[in-house]
Amino acid sequence: MCGGVKYTDIESKTWTVYFPSPKAALPVLKKNGEIEWVIWGKRKEEDAQAFPNGGWARLDSIKEGKWQRYQPRPVLLPIQSFMEKDAEKVSHWFDIRAGEVLQGLLTVHDGAARVYVVTTDTPSEFSYIHDRWPRIIQKTHQTESIVHD
């Protein structure tokens, strides 16, 4: 389900972010090529009722329209690796290949933004780790149209 990510910025500083942290934010690629850090989802204890709990959005629920009330926009998350925990709570890190990004879902309400990692079914070779997996997409000219303003 992607409980953590690593992102290396243009100055070669690596940021490690874990969803449970109340200050967790994800790097979102903007149309001008810059990175904007956006709060990653919503924790149960937060008082931000305009946003759904959690840090993930199932692709099938997006397609079914369950996210429409949040006026979502697809965005690109240019992270270098993500972490999944298995049933025994052991962390497994997975590198993202060059030219690939995670798909995110950006929601905005009253000037506040949250981003959720889009998830899909886990590849069969990793099904022993978790039943949901971040949606990894190729960064192409087609995906440029879903880059955030």
Q: Which stretches within the chain are classed as H helix? A: 59-63
How many domains would you assign to the chain? 1
Q: Which range of residues forms the domain containing residue 95? A: 4-146
Q: pLDDT for 70-90, tens place per residue?
A: 999 999 999 999 999 988 999
Q: How many CB atoms lie within 10 A of CB 117?
A: 27
Task: Please name which of 58, 29, 31, 37 lies closest in space to residue 114, comparing C-alpha atoms.
Answer: 37
Q: pLDDT for 8-37, tens place per residue?
A: 999 999 999 999 999 999 999 998 889 999
Amino acid at 131: D
Amino acid at 78: P
* CATH code of the domain in which 124 resides: 3.90.1680.10
